[in-house]
């Protein structure tokens, strides 16, 4: 989950840094041997600060729901390369704090049911499509209040599981003050927002939060996270039972996903699983590298079982996983810059070259509190058809202009926009021009965000 409660009060991370007052001009040379590049799948699979992922596959499109501060949002992709982010109408419309861990399942009636924590209580929504629009099943009412049923339970991190017989179950629960996590489960009625009987406490050993149910060969695998989400103690454990309601016994080789700092894997957890063509996959978050202001990113890797039915330790990869390996990939026609220069960068971890490396694990950041620019040299005049900035804060409040030039001296406006006002992200600005140089000028309007880019995609 994104935020936790310390001593009963909300502890909320804000983006904050020291203001740097010196802007210098830096120039980063790129490999000029090949002036085109291909978009590729890698971990993290989406850019930006997103946590507690849920993954859904519907009609050859992957949807990823994740914690994003106080906004309900969903990423979607048909090829695992081109991703678009949109806001969910609900629960965003509630304008409440702490919108955490949205989880969506398609039920036997064909509808999509969304369970999410809002201000430390659980709400249930329904829609006809994974993108919504969603509505609260109970009108304006809460489904599960905080501390309902048990005084120690923190009512967050709900996850719905639908068994082979069509019966739906809801798992949820965490603890307060980073201790005494409680895991609960209840059998859902057909309305998906009430229980057939009183829920039960099924808390297994080592449990803190983020429950997720997986069925494999008539056994039930209750997976969950423990540790503290903002350090490298966070990890994924699991327990096995003979029914969806347990009892559950922690597996002998639990945990199966832990930090590996040598591979830049820190704090992996709060995950979801998906099965496709007989193969299971695990989608989880880990800390950004380097870990900055509580930020986390979403990754995907294979999940396998041994011949005894135990989940094998997850092998984390830089490559990630393509869920559509046989599907024809779109030719993205990305132009690779031969040189990049910027107003300044915020240190060696945030170099200008990272804005053009097709890697969502790296980014260029300008010093906080400063307007910034990034300029690319394409090596020679090329036909440019589109420019797509992927900002550090994906939906953040940035004013920006994009310009192009044949000689690096005389500039013409390509596009101007306010990032926050878009309806989906990242925004691709399309126009056919001949250019050798492309420049983006960025002004961060919110003091809590930095000018910076995960990528600046330039299309030919």
- List CB contacts of 144: < 8 A, sequence separation 6 or more: 121, 122, 155, 158, 172
| d(C-alpha 303, C-alpha 115), whole Å | 24
Answer yes or no: are the C-beta atoms of 443 and 400 closer than 8 Å: yes
Give, in order, the Cα–Cα distances in Å from 12 to each of 2, 172, 305. Answer: 9, 21, 38
- Considering only CA atoms, which of 224, 146, 153 is closest in space to residue 182? 153
DSSP 8-state code for residue 145: -
Q: How is residue 229 written in tokens?
A: 């989400």
DSSP 151-210: TT-B----EEEE-TTS-EEEEE-B-BTTB----EEEEB-TTSSSBSS--EE-PPTT--EE
Does 52 participate in catalysis according to the annotation? yes
DSSP 8-state code for residue 166: S
Q: How many helices, marked H, and strands, marked E, lie in the chain?
A: 1, 32
| d(C-alpha 360, C-alpha 426), whole Å | 13
Which residue of the set 98, 157, 159, 209 is catalytic? 209
Which residue of the set 52, 157, 159, 377 is catalytic? 52
Burial class (CB in 10 A: 0-12, 13-18, 19+), 245: middle
| d(C-alpha 186, C-alpha 154), whole Å | 16
Q: Which of helix, strand or coil describes residue 107?
A: coil
Strand boundaries in 13-93, DSSP class E:
26-29, 36-37, 51-58, 61-67, 73-77, 84-87
Scan for tokens 């509190």, then name that residue: 369
Does 242 participate in catalysis according to the annotation? no
Scan for tokens 């590996």, then name that residue: 260
Scan for tokens 């220069």, then name that residue: 341
DSSP 8-state code for residue 174: B
| d(C-alpha 419, C-alpha 393), whole Å | 10
Give, in order, the Cα–Cα distances in Å from 204 to each of 76, 180, 250. Answer: 34, 11, 6
The sign of the dihedral angle between the CA atoms of 252, 253, 255, 261 is positive
Give, in order, the Cα–Cα distances in Å from 438 to each of 90, 338, 383. Answer: 38, 12, 12
DSSP 279-343: EEEEEEEEE-SS--TT-EEEEEEEE-B-TTSPBPPP---SS---S-TTSPPP---EEPPSEEEES
Catalytic amino acids? Answer: 52, 209
């Amino acid at each position: 989950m994104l935020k936790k409660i310390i001593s009963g009060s909300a502890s909320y991370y804000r983006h904050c840094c020291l203001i740097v007052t010196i802007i210098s001009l830096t120039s980063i040379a790129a490999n000029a041997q090949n002036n085109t590049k291909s978009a590729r799948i890698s971990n993290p699979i989406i850019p930006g600060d997103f946590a507690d992922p849920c993954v859904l596959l519907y009609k050859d499109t992957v949807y990823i729901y994740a914690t994003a501060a106080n906004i309900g949002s969903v990423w979607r992709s048909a090829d695992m390369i081109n991703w678009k982010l949109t806001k969910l109408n609900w629960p965003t419309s509630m304008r409440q704090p702490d919108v955490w861990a949205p989880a969506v399942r398609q039920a036997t009636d064909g509808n999509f049911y969304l369970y999410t924590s809002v201000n430390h209580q659980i709400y249930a929504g329904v829609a006809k499509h994974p993108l919504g629009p969603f509505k609260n099943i109970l009108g304006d009412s809460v489904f599960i209040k905080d501390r309902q049923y048990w005084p120690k339970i923190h009512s967050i991190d709900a996850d719905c599981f639908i068994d082979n017989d069509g019966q739906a179950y809801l798992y949820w629960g965490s603890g307060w003050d980073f201790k005494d996590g409680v895991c609960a489960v209840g059998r859902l009625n057909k309305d998906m927002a009430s229980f057939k009987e009183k829920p039960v406490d099924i808390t297994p050993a080592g449990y803190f939060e983020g429950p997720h149910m997986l069925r494999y060969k008539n056994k039930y695998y209750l997976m969950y996270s423990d540790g503290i989400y903002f350090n490298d103690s966070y990890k994924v454990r699991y327990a096995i039972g003979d029914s969806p309601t347990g009892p559950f016994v922690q597996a002998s080789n639990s945990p199966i996903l832990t930090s590996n700092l040598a591979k830049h894997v820190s704090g992996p957890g709060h995950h979801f699983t998906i099965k496709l063509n007989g193969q299971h996959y695990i989608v989880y978050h880990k800390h950004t590298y380097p870990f900055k202001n509580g930020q986390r990113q979403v990754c995907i890797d294979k999940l396998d079982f041994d011949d005894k039915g135990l989940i094998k330790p997850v092998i984390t990869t830089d490559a990630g996983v393509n869920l559509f390996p046989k599907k024809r990939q779109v030719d993205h026609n990305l132009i690779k810059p031969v040189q990049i220069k910027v107003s300044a960068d915020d240190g060696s971890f945030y170099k200008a070259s990272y804005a053009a490396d097709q890697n969502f694990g790296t980014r260029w950041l300008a010093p906080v509190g400063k307007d910034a620019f990034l300029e690319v040299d394409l090596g020679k005049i090329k036909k440019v058809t589109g420019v797509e900035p992927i900002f550090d804060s994906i939906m953040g409040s940035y004013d920006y202009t994009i310009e192009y030039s044949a000689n690096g001296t005389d500039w013409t406006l390509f596009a101007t926009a306010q990032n926050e006002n878009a309806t989906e992200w990242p925004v691709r600005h399309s126009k056919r021009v001949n250019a050798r140089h492309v420049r983006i000028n960025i002004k961060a309007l919110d003091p809590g965000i930095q000018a910076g880019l995960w990528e600046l995609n330039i299309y030919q």
